[in-house]
A and B are shown apart, each in its own frame.
Chain A
Amino acid sequence: MKDYAVVGRREPRVDATAQVTGRTTYAGDITLPGMLAGGLLQSSQAHALIVHIDSAAARDLPGVHAVITGADLPVPYGILPVSQD
């Protein structure tokens, strides 16, 4: 087999050293001033039509800055175009 300069050779990955030393920064490793923490509340139903979500009680809790539901977004759910039809 022809001896290629690149094909068939092992090349170290550019991010490998950072990964094995714990220096790779993932989203969860970032802390910024004034950063808020968020949580997801998933549906209690596997398949259902959302008629209304009453988030008033959650919004009123001390320390809560925002409660965001599909009603606040231009596309209420899904990230794939097919789910937006």
Chain B
Amino acid sequence: MSEGILSLTINGEAHRLVSAGHRTLLEVLREDVGLTGTKHGCELGECGACTVLADGVPMLSCLTLAARVGDAEVTTVEGLALGGSLHPLQAAFAELGAAQCGYCTPGMLMTAKALLDTEPDPSREQIKQALAGNLCRCTGYLKILDAVDAAAARIR
């Protein structure tokens, strides 16, 4: 497929890249921009490890062509910290042991951020629903749900 100029806004920074049209947003983020915090999991849209935000909405970057992102503002885990300090979700995940191997954590954090941005006081059920597309294979989900709960309380 032919190469073209790709303009993306990632974590508030404008990027112009030469990229083939078939490349996914995940490939461009990790291989071209060097943002490896977004994880490559199943590449089937089942695990949620590659979740990033496009204009605040969770998006599976492994199933999204970079060329289709257009003007949307992309946010990755690297863009989550506010200035020099951790986002309340990051702090809560770290403090409450919600990450074990940490591979699913960036995707969990991005999905949880989208939830808290639209619903600052989610019920346990709403947190479970929101994170249903993000798989964790080591800690179990209780600590993750607790961390989202704790972060929501801190933000409010």
Residues of A within 8 A of B (CB): 10, 12-13, 15-26, 28-29, 31
Contact (A16, B81) CB under 8 Å given A21-B86, A21-B90: no
23 A-B residue pairings within 8 Å (CB atoms): A10-B97, A13-B97, A16-B93, A16-B99, A18-B102, A19-B93, A19-B94, A19-B105, A20-B77, A20-B93, A20-B99, A20-B109, A21-B77, A21-B80, A21-B81, A21-B86, A21-B90, A22-B37, A22-B38, A22-B78, A23-B37, A26-B103, A28-B40
Q: How many A-B residue pairs have CB under 8 A?
A: 57
Most chain A beta-carbon neighbours within 10 Å: one of B37, B78, B106, B109: B37
Residues of B within 8 A of A (CB): 30-31, 35-40, 76-78, 80-81, 86, 89-91, 93-95, 97, 99, 102-103, 105-106, 109
A20 to B109, CA, bound (A): 8
In the complex, what residue of chain B is closest to A17 when comparing beta carbons? B94
Interchain CB contact under 8 A, B86 and A29: no
B93 to chain A: which residues have CB within 8 Å?
Answer: 16, 19-20
A17 to chain B: which residues have CB within 8 Å?
Answer: 86, 90, 94
> How far in angstroms is the closest Cβ of chain B from A63?
17
Contact (A16, B94) CB under 8 Å given A21-B78, A21-B81, A22-B76: yes
Interchain CB contact under 8 A, A19 and B36: no
In the complex, what residue of chain B is closest to A23 when comparing beta carbons? B37
Interchain CB contact under 8 A, A20 and B86: yes
Partner of A29, one of B36, B77, B89, B95: B36
A83 to B116, CA, bound (A): 50
> How far in angstroms is the closest Cβ of chain B from A15?
7
A10 to B80, CA, bound (A): 25
A20 to B143, CA, bound (A): 14
